[in-house]
Structure 1
Amino acid sequence: MMTPDRSDATAEAPRYIMFDGVLARIENGFNLIAAASIMILMLLAVVQIFGRTFLNQPIPGFIDITEQAMAVFTFMGIAYCQRVGGHIRMEILLGKLKGRALWIAEFFGVFIIFLVVCGLIYGSWFHFQRSWSIGDSTIDIGLPTWPSKLIVPVALTLLALRLLLQLYGYWRLIADPSRTPLSVPLIMDVEEAAQHEIEEAFGEDDEEVSR
């Protein structure tokens, strides 16, 4: 999957492009936090193993910290992944569709995801409220659980906004398939995917050299 170039369509939907840019910056920030949490957790794991093996002094509450960190790196990058088309998809059928039929199928697929995400937002917000009201905490060192539970509805809300943008993007393509796709991932075949990876890794100069 890839996100198409939108430079030639900016004048057509400036507010949509502006909102998409703001949302993308937030998604990038959330994704950076998720990546940083993974790195920090890996370093803590190294210290935990070293301390337990050689000093007989493990990190207090390491399991509690790991459990709470899981919400960070699991959910905070989910909207970014949706934007770049990184989620696992079954494209056996979609890959055979073209034009308006493809955009209709994509629209309804994203719409179903949006409904599911809205239900998850409601349920996760309920769990956060319950954790906040009863003062729930972890067993070992008593870390409050509400921060990690709050991350889930916040991250899912960001995903819901991304899905709304993609619904609009697919809707405008259904209305006029000749329009330039905006902020929607496009299906690529194997050769296109390989070429896209080369461009991302080495830039346009290397692309010209390869030609």
Structure 2
Amino acid sequence: MSTSSVLADETALSRADRTFLKLEAAMNLIAGVVIFALVLLAVYNVVGRKLFNAPVPGYVDWTEQFMATFAFLGLAFCQREGGHIRMDILVGQFRGRMLWAAEWISCVFMLLLTTALIYGTWFHFERSFDWNAPMFSTDSSIDIALPLWPAKLIVPVSMAVLWVRLVLQIWGFGRAWRLNTDRPVAVPLIEDAATQANKEAKTVDG
């Protein structure tokens, strides 16, 4: 059983939401795999250092490089599921069109901020990437000289995926406001703590 609060139907919006979710879920899975791999790397580094006096070369460099992966790849998936930390004390009291208008305005502000971040992080990536440089990188890590451009590229790419998700949610909240519905599709619905806990418990029980 899914713990998602996002509803679905056969409208074009919902189909777009479910189709785009496949990309978001794949990116989120990659982030999870990277976290697990880093845990294994940390264990190997500790054991290798303790027992064989042979730690992982450039362990800090590898960790710093992959931090961008699990820090950013899951952004859009988390936004789709309504998982980001936010204050629902005020918004949670709204109902109907007032609620959807507040959510729509929030998504518009996030879209503007994300657009600025895409612009800035893309140029940050470009400064470290050069087709004519060794390994296409003009800068690298201190210890084992890992090229930094892959990690820097992950940020604007992840932000671009988040940008599309925000556009879908602006569409969804705008549609919910227009229809004045209490069961909109393709957007996360506000749930109280008891409902969230109940869903999570059912998921664990299978």
On the 8 A contact 2:6/2:81 being kept in 1, the answer is: no
The aligned amino acid for 2:193 is V
Render the CA deviation track for 1:142-199: whole Å, top value 9, x for unaligned.
Answer: 1110011001000110011111100000000111112631111111123222222233
**1:54 aligned partner:** 51
The aligned amino acid for 2:115 is C
**1:119 aligned partner:** 116
State which of 126, 136, 139 in structure 2 corresponds to 1:136: 139
Cα distance between partner residues in 1 of 2:197 and 2:55? 45
Cα distance between partner residues in 2 of 1:81 and 1:132? 29
Structure 1 residue 19, shift from structure 2 partner: 2.0
Q: Alignment partner of 2:183: what SS?
A: coil
Structure 1 residue 33, shift from structure 2 partner: 0.4
On the 8 A contact 2:28/2:77 being kept in 1, the answer is: yes
Cα distance between partner residues in 2 of 1:2 and 1:112? 24
1:87-166 superposed matches below 5 A: 87-133=84-130, 135-166=138-169
Structure 1 residue 201, shift from structure 2 partner: 2.9
Q: Is 54-63 or 69-78 further displaced after alignment?
A: 54-63
Structure 1 residue 70, shift from structure 2 partner: 0.4
The aligned amino acid for 2:178 is A
Cα distance between partner residues in 1 of 2:195 and 2:189? 11
How many pairs does the alignment contain? Answer: 198
**2:179 aligned partner:** 176
- Write out the 4+ residue segments of structure 1 that deviate beyond 3 Å after TM superposition: none
State which of 179, 193, 200 in structure 1 corresponds to 2:196: 193
Q: CA RMSD in A?
A: 1.5
Q: Alignment partner of 1:184: what SS?
A: coil
Structure 1 residue 103, shift from structure 2 partner: 0.5
The aligned amino acid for 1:202 is D
**2:41 aligned partner:** 44
**2:5 aligned partner:** 3
Cα distance between partner residues in 2 of 1:154 and 1:2? 24
What TM-score do the two structures reach when normalised by structure 1?
Answer: 0.89
Point out where structure 2 has 5 or more consecutive residues left out of the alignment: 131-136
Cα distance between partner residues in 2 of 1:62 and 1:4? 40
Cα distance between partner residues in 2 of 1:194 and 1:144? 43
Point out where structure 1 has 5 or more consecutive residues left out of the alignment: 204-211
What fraction of aligned residue pairs are identical, expressed as a percent? Answer: 44
On the 8 A contact 1:3/1:183 being kept in 2, the answer is: no
Cα distance between partner residues in 2 of 1:88 and 1:122? 24
Render the CA deviation track for 1:87-136: whole Å, top value 9, x for unaligned.
Answer: 10100001111110000001111111111111111111001000003621
**1:207 aligned partner:** none
